[in-house]
Amino acid sequence: MKKIVVVLGVALALAVGVSVRSSLHARSLRKQMTDLQVKLEKIEAKLQPLEAKRSASKRITKEFDIPAGSVQTLSFSAAVAPGTLSGKWRSSGEVWRGADDSISGFTLSDPSDAVLDSAFRNSSGSFIVKVSSPGKHTFFFENAGPQRSTPRRVFLDAEFKPD
């Protein structure tokens, strides 16, 4: 009987030890999980501004026709500022057998209508401008004047990237 009591006592001690050890291990795992959650939240907070910048980038690719004697506008809205708007454009009168490919004017303005870039009597151009305020920016393509008796086709390829 004494042997059985000793064996039961040892078994009980082992069971209690295993239980205590399991409890300590579970607490340790909960602590590790909490620490990992805090680290994840810090990483997400650091990524949030980068994601906002990525989503604010905007690509503008357009092809359109400008009738003779008119002005065609194209607008885009910069959601954030500052940033950089860069790109190129070209025009062609070939489709309508125009005397040349040029348009009479290109202008890019900001939300306050200040001119950011312009070109006159060209058939192509490029631009790199600083966007200092969010809002609607407008491209103006003019096909007017005595030598502009045929339409022009314009190709615009631009991209806005926040700083």
Tokens of 6: 């000793």
pLDDT in tens, 144-157: 987 778 999 999 99
Q: How far apart, in whole angstroms, are the C-alpha atoms of residue 138 and residue 144?
A: 18
Give residue 145's identity as a one-letter amino acid code. Answer: G
CB atoms within 10 A of CB 124: 16
Whether 161 contacts 83, CB under 8 Å: yes
Q: How far apart are CA 149 and CA 119, in angstroms?
A: 20
Which range, 4-13, 43-52, 107-116, 141-150, has the best average confidence (pLDDT)? 107-116
* pTM listed for this prediction: 0.68
- Tokens (6 digits) for 19: 């239980």
Higher-pLDDT residue of 27, 142: 142
Q: Return d(Cα 41, Cα 20) in angstroms, integer.
A: 32
C-alpha distance from residue 150 to each of 15, 64, 144 (Å): 95, 14, 10
pLDDT for 53-106, tens place per residue? 566 789 999 999 999 999 999 999 998 989 999 999 999 988 777 778 889 999
More reliable by pLDDT, 28 or 55: 28
The answer, yes or no, to whether residue 48 has pLDDT greater than 80, is no
Higher pLDDT, 49 or 135: 135
User: Strand pairing partners for 142?
Assistant: 71, 105
Mean pLDDT (the chain) is 84
